[in-house]
């Protein structure tokens, strides 16, 4: 991760924690994903937009703003799917990450494009299928 993105993420994480989950640019739509590096083994925290499905399930999209490659956190969740998230309403929640496929993925992705036009733009910028990950409370 470049220093620019690291600094940006650090500011968002600080604001999230200071305000109880409300981030100026994102409202209460973020979760902080605690994940372990697939190669490094180092724990990291990444703010990611989420869609709450129910009290026990959240969707996150590995959009990386339409970059040609998946974000590092996506690879980390695939390698180590039992993680925790910080949510605006529930605090720290232990979850299991599962990559959605087929119709499940498409239905979840539609929720992202309906929630924000940015996701439609991300999809147009890349040739990859943007993964959607389900985070389910353990």
Give pLDDT tens digits for 75-108.
999 999 999 999 999 999 999 999 999 999 999 9
Q: What angle do CA 27, 33, 36 make, to 5 degrees?
A: 160
pLDDT band at 3 (very low <50, low <70, confident <90, very high): low
Angle between helices 102-115 and 117-125 (to 10 degrees): 120
pLDDT at 1 over 50: no
Backbone φ, ψ for residue 44 (5° rounding): -130, 160
CATH number of 3-137: 2.30.110.10
pTM above 0.75, yes or no: yes
């Amino acid at each position: 991760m470049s220093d620019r993105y690291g600094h940006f993420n650090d500011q968002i994480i600080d604001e999230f924690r200071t305000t109880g989950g409300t981030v100026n640019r994102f409202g209460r739509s973020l979760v902080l994903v605690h994940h372990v590096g697939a190669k490094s083994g180092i724990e990291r925290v990444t703010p990611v937009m989420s869609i709450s499905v129910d009290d026990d399930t959240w969707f996150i999209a590995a959009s990386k703003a339409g970059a040609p490659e998946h974000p590092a956190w996506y690879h980390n969740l695939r390698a180590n799917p039992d993680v925790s998230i910080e949510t605006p309403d529930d605090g720290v929640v232990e979850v299991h990450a599962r990559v959605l496929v087929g119709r499940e993925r498409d239905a979840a992705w539609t929720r992202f494009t309906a929630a924000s036009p940015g996701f439609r733009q991300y999809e147009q910028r890349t040739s990859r299928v943007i993964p959607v990950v389900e985070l389910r409370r353990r």
